[in-house]
Amino acid sequence: MSREIGAIILGAGKGTRMKSDLPKVLMPVDNKPMIRHIIDTLEELKVKKIVTVIAPDGEAVKREVAPYPTCIQEKQLGTGHAVLSACDHFRGFTGDILVIFGDQPLYTKESMKKMLKKRAEGFSVVCMGFRPDDPARYGRLIMDGEELKRIVEFKDATDEEKKINFCNSGIMCFEGEKLFSILSAISNDNAAQEYYLTDAVEIALRMGLKCSAVECPVDEASAANTLEELALLEELIKKRKSQN
């Protein structure tokens, strides 16, 4: 019997850089809020439990994702902290949990299935990697065969690591029983004093768990932080529809 699937969507971001009062995840792509594209894909995947993390003033996002539940990230203390905000909704959950950024609406059901399949092979944490033409600003996925050994941010990478073009896209898949114990061990001992989701890999390995990564097409990893990036998402989704 296959395991149940849950999903946590990170939807607390503001639309400031898009010069909009709308929360970022509600910005439209192909006449639909970004977050709605993600929910539609999760529904196709038959995800049992979908929880969206929202800001304290995130009523508009709460209405958009209804009837699915939301939880509030009271303070923006990083991506790891955001996911922890959802832990009460997953107490006793024994399936797999996808963690998705709400400004990345192009991931397909097939790519998510690839993550879940890899997770089922005995890896407690699975990241999604991609190979952009210009990898400069992305964190690198350092692999040893099938196993992911660490995620290195570009600014911290050695010259050798910078030559690696397998980059972290953001979406992750976790063994549900282990997710919140992993996140609880993440430290905010960094310049921003934030809890980073990417630190989950280092923590999991320290706990004796195995991590891995799978690859998706470059377009799927596209995110929207600016109006220019939003326009690119629009272009990519229309191109995808024309090819189907």
**Per-residue model confidence as pLDDT tens for the chain (244 residues):** 478 999 999 998 776 666 677 889 999 999 999 999 999 999 999 998 999 999 999 999 999 999 999 999 988 888 999 999 999 999 999 999 999 999 999 999 999 999 999 999 999 999 999 999 988 889 999 999 999 999 998 888 889 999 999 999 999 999 999 999 999 999 888 878 889 999 999 999 999 999 999 999 999 999 988 889 999 999 999 999 888 7
pLDDT at position 20 = 72
pLDDT for 147: 97
DSSP assignments along 88-116, one per residue: GGGTT--SEEEEEETT-TT--HHHHHHHH
| Whether this model's pTM surpasses 0.75 | yes
Q: Which two tokens stand for residue 138?
A: 């992305």
Cβ atoms of 168 and 219 within 8 Å: the answer is no
What pLDDT score does 56 carry?
A: 94
Which token pair is 16? 């400031």
User: Residue 230 sits in a domain of what CATH number?
Assistant: 3.90.550.10
Residues contacting 92, CB < 8 A, separation 6+: none
Residue 126's φ and ψ, nearest 5 degrees, are -130, 125
Q: Bridge-partner residues for 50, per DSSP?
A: 7
Task: Report how far Cα 238 is from the mean position of its chain's Cα atoms.
Answer: 23
Domain count across the chain: 1
Residues 136, 211 contacting (CB under 8 angstroms): no
* Residue 96, domain extent: 5-243
Largest alpha-carbon pair distance within the chain?
48
